[in-house]
Structure 1
Amino acid sequence: MDFSTQRKKPATESVLPMINVVFLLLIFFLMTTRIAPHAPFAVTPPVTALETSSEAAPILFLSAEGNLFFEGHTGDAALHAVGLRAQKDAPVTLRADAVVEAATVAALLAKLRGLGFRKINLVGQNG
């Protein structure tokens, strides 16, 4: 007769709960992340005293040289594209460089108004 005790293998801890938590965190961060469009050129917005943030789409870019850019379109084609894509009730965001003359920005605002936009957000830096 053999009265020796059988050796039990030590219980290994399951990594399944840890994997579940990692995937849940991954899904959480993917769902809460806002992916902003990449700026086509460097734009330094003018300094403003307001602390409002304009996070609305679509975003129209105006460079220091006066060039317009919107989702791959430049110049008047950018204005046409923003007019087609955007809803007229929703605001359009204008990211103009700080060195652009006020007359250029005013003319662009008039063109946007002519396209039917009632709300236009001009992006600036807090300073």
Structure 2
Amino acid sequence: MDFATPRRRRPAEAIVPMINVVFLLLIFFLMSAQITPPAPFDVTLPESENDNAARPADTLYMDAQGQLAFNTARGEAVYDAIAARAAPDTPLQIRADARLEAQALARFLPELAARGIAEIELLTGMP
């Protein structure tokens, strides 16, 4: 018979599996997270009662003064960048400031149609 006292585990050995689980969770969340680029300027979305969430797509930004931004293009270069976008069959999302006049947006839409954009989505926020 072996009456020797059982070998005690060191406290560090008990923590190693927990550290492994934490690192695996960290890797999982980093791999599954969707990292979006920051907005080129601050835009306050108009409010809507509709709760349909927008799917990720190409987004055109318009501020209250009518300045345009699309990916890295700014100003007049936006038109060429929109025409050369990777997925022309998907709708173009417009993230316009709530203070932007509707006439300014309406004047902009024929420019998009001339470059082959047939469908747009105007993003809104919840009240």
TM-score for both structures, normalised by structure 1? 0.83
- 2: distance between equivalents of 1:51 and 1:72? 29
1:56–1:92 Cα contact (<8 Å) kept: no
Q: Which residue of 1 aligns with 2:90?
A: 90
**Aligned Cα RMSD in Å?**
2.0
1:78 partner amino acid: V
Q: Which residue of 2 aligns with 1:10?
A: 8
Q: Which residue of 1 aligns with 2:30?
A: 30
Q: Which residue of 1 aligns with 2:59?
A: 59
* Secondary structure of residue in 2 paired with 1:47: coil
Q: Which runs of 5+ in 2 are unaligned?
A: none
Q: Which residue of 2 aligns with 1:106?
A: 106
* Secondary structure of residue in 1 paired with 2:81: helix
Relative distance call for 1:86 and 1:108 in structure 2 (3 A) is farther
- 2: distance between equivalents of 1:105 and 1:57? 19
Q: Which residue of 2 aligns with 1:79?
A: 79
Q: Does 1:117 align with 2:105?
A: no
Quote the sequence identity (%).
40
1:70–1:82 Cα contact (<8 Å) kept: yes
- 1: distance between equivalents of 2:50 and 2:110? 23
1:109 partner amino acid: L
* Secondary structure of residue in 1 paired with 2:84: helix
Q: Which runs of 5+ in 1 are unaligned?
A: none
- 2: distance between equivalents of 1:7 and 1:43? 69
- 1: distance between equivalents of 2:52 and 2:71? 24
- 2: distance between equivalents of 1:9 and 1:25? 31
1:88–1:118 Cα contact (<8 Å) kept: no
* Secondary structure of residue in 2 paired with 1:48: coil
C-alpha deviation, 1:94, in angstroms = 0.6
Larger Rg, first or second structure (1 or 2): 1
